[in-house]
A and B are shown apart, each in its own frame.
Chain A
Amino acid sequence: MGIISVEHTGQLYWLGRYSERVYTTLKLFADRFDSMLDLDSDEYEEFCVRQEIPNIYTSKEDFASRYCFDEADPNSIYSNLIRAYDNAIVLREKIGSMALSYIQLAVYAMNKAKESPAPLLELQHVRDNIVAFWGIVDDSVDDEHVRSLIKFGKRVERIDLYARMRMNQHELKREVARLNFRIERTGLSYSRKKLAHINYLVEDAPLSYKELVEEIESLQEC
């Protein structure tokens, strides 16, 4: 196992979180946008409330454009992808040029989608590159500690997003089970009491999504 500084530990964790945030919000956005086409509704307002992001959008078209691509909006998928890149770029010697290249490709794909007449099609390439990034981390990063920190960030982010979006309990139970497995491999200190409570919450009915978000956000502060 190599040596890892506090700085790199945080960067690996946040690389996991932001890559997951891009991947999952792209999926959530695509599903939501698709349903808005038929219903002619403004479902994006509810989306903003659940995500706890300010509703700065004037219409569903504006939402579709700015939530995906607005560089000036700190909550846009674009901004989250740049944060993933900012963490990845300083981790080349930990994750390798090959893994880093998929985050770089996701940025290029995002820029291409922004200019495309069919952005939803192009955004698929962003997701593909994120998946490839995770795959290469699994396949070629030898240091288990490095892998686990990225995956830990990914699990935390997914539970957070799923809980905010009131995803079904079965999916949350599965993600929490993965978190239990991963957190021990990070070597990080965390609140065992909070983890036990998270496990309890996903078994409880009805599930308290709000409490779950609070607990997962404070499980580990990197």
Chain B
Amino acid sequence: MELKELSKYSDAVNELLARYGVKFGIYKNHTFKEQLFPFDMIPRVIEQEEFASLERGLKQRVMALNLFIRDIYHEKKIIRDGVVPEEFVYAGSGYLPQCESVLPPQGIYSHISGIDLVQSKDGTWYILEDNLRIPSGASYPMIARDLCRKCSPQTFQKYRIDDNRNYARLLRQTMDHVNTGGHTVILTPGRYNAAYFEHSYLAEQTGAHLVTGSELIVENDYLYFIDYSGKKERVGAVYRRISDEYLDPMNFNEESVIGIPHIYDIYRKGNVALINAPGNGVADDKGIYYFVPKMIQYYLGEEAILKNAPTYLPYYEDDMKYVLEHFDDLVLKDVAEAGGYGVVFGSKMTKEEKEHFLTLLKAEPRRFIAQEVIDFLDIDIVEGNSLVPRKADLRAFVLMAEEPMVWKSGLTRFSRNPDSFIVNSSQGGGFKDTWVLSR
């Protein structure tokens, strides 16, 4: 496929993205700044058959993860049966005791799952991370696709590409499926949140109301939106884009000023849906990631279709031994960190850094995982007038309504630095559209 042709529209499309305020917020030196998210016109292209296999694997994984969260907060069979050690469940910050015995509407925990994958040079896809709390990023390829179709309609006529602009419809379907009666709202911490563009764009595209905590109130066991005249309108589903700890000062962090007092109490009673469910962090902890293939086997009786990157848990004696022997070949991740932070490559540490890190690792083995460095398949990006290869990952989105639905697209993030594997926007990365061919 001759995609280089598309690069000539790069400036025009990036100008349009700037016009529509496609930005992300970032704090530097305690100052909030809005930055444009650089878009590269050359898409990641996934053939129909290849995506069908990814789709099966993603559905399988998200179904198992949902069953795991339900099990952990109810029967805990997977712990009793010795498949997942309890230390990994209860020691992680994602486990919330407040969620014990609470069943969300329709029994769904992870309504919107962002699964990060990379493709190695031999074509194998590996799961890097599961994001089951507030995964963001779908809005970027959605709006970019809309603009690309306008600038090069002939490309989209020539190649049959699944239209990814249906994300808003899938999201609406997901929210409506669990709505307990009333309006659907998207709860944002406000415009100084890094993903505020996404919050407002998804509200516009889904027809949901974008609200802040101060506009909602719990009264007589129900959630209400208060309009300008003081009239109360019932709310049945909240796609909340604020983290668990800030959601309800009466049940979680009491210092939160952006949450809604008692919202968790009425959620517990089944009177409102929270999307995604609180407590999901128990399943997307980097330590728990190691056990996902075992979960799939345990809950579904199937082999995992998608592979994890080869991972070691220094918590286990054998794995610690391996990590110490192969330290320079591994990437080490702090399970408490996110956004590309807390990731270090053994080979890039100085002697002093290595000594310091090893002391920490031996003192707190539960805090780290180690992974083989996967030689990602490079993807071309446009730089000046030429194409240059860069590392890239793919965030796939799985939405859960009556059944799991995999969005036929995804956010491809790339590193702009030729020597880096870190693709996060907060660390200077850019994004691409992801095309799934429909024939």
A92 x B200 contact (CB < 8 A):
yes
How many of B's residues come within 8 Å of A, CB to CB? 25
Partner of A105, one of B19, B209, B211, B229: B19
What separation, in Å, do the CA atoms of A86 and B190 have in the docked complex?
12
What is the 8 Å Cβ interface bit string for chain A, positions 84-96, against chain B (1 contact, 0 not)? 0010011011001
Provide the A72-92 mask, 1 if CB < 8 A to any CB of B, else 0. 000000000000001001101
Bitwise, B165-205 to A at CB < 8 A (1) or not (0) is 00000000000000000010000001100001000110110
A5-B21 CB under 8 A given contacts A92-B200, A92-B203, A93-B209: no
Say yes or no for A108: interface residue by CB 8 A criterion.
yes
A interface majority secondary structure: helix
Say whether, besides A7-B212, A101-B20, A89 and B191 are in contact (CB < 8 Å). yes
Q: How far is the CA of A108 from the CA of B23 in the complex (A)?
A: 14
C-alpha gap A108/B190 in the complex (Å)? 23
Question: Would A97 and B201 count as touching, CB distance under 8 A?
Answer: yes
Chain A proximity of B12: nearest CB distance (Å): 15
Contact of A93 with B229 in the complex, beta carbons under 8 Å: no
Q: Which residues of B contact A180 (CB under 8 A)?
A: none
**B204 A93 Cβ-Cβ under 8 A:** yes
Query: Is B233 an interface position by the 8 A CB rule?
Result: yes
CA distance A93 to B214 in the complex (A): 18
Interface string of B53-83 (1 = CB under 8 A from A): 0000000000000000000000000000000
Is residue A100 within 8 Å, beta carbon to beta carbon, of the partner chain?
yes
B190 and chain A: residue at smallest CB distance: A90
Distance of A109 Cα from B226 Cα, bound (Å): 37
For window 1-55 of A, CB contacts with B under 8 Å fall at 2-9
A44 to B123, CA, bound (A): 69
**Does residue B219 face the partner (Cβ distance < 8 Å to A)?**
no
Q: How far is the CA of A8 from the CA of B210 in the complex (A)?
A: 10
When the two chains form their complex, are residues B18 and A93 in contact, meaning their CB atoms are under 8 A apart? no
CA distance A187 to B210 in the complex (A): 21
Q: Are A2 and B19 in contact (CB under 8 A)?
A: no
B183 touches A3 (CB 8 A): yes
Complex A-B: 25 CB contacts under 8 Å: A2-B209, A3-B183, A3-B209, A3-B227, A3-B233, A4-B228, A5-B228, A6-B215, A6-B227, A7-B214, A86-B191, A89-B196, A89-B200, A90-B190, A90-B210, A92-B201, A93-B203, A93-B204, A93-B208, A96-B204, A97-B201, A104-B19, A104-B21, A108-B19, A187-B229
- Taking A5-B215, A104-B21 as known contacts, 5 extra A-B pairs with beta carbons closer than 8 A to each other, sorted by chain A number, are A4-B227, A6-B228, A90-B210, A97-B21, A187-B228
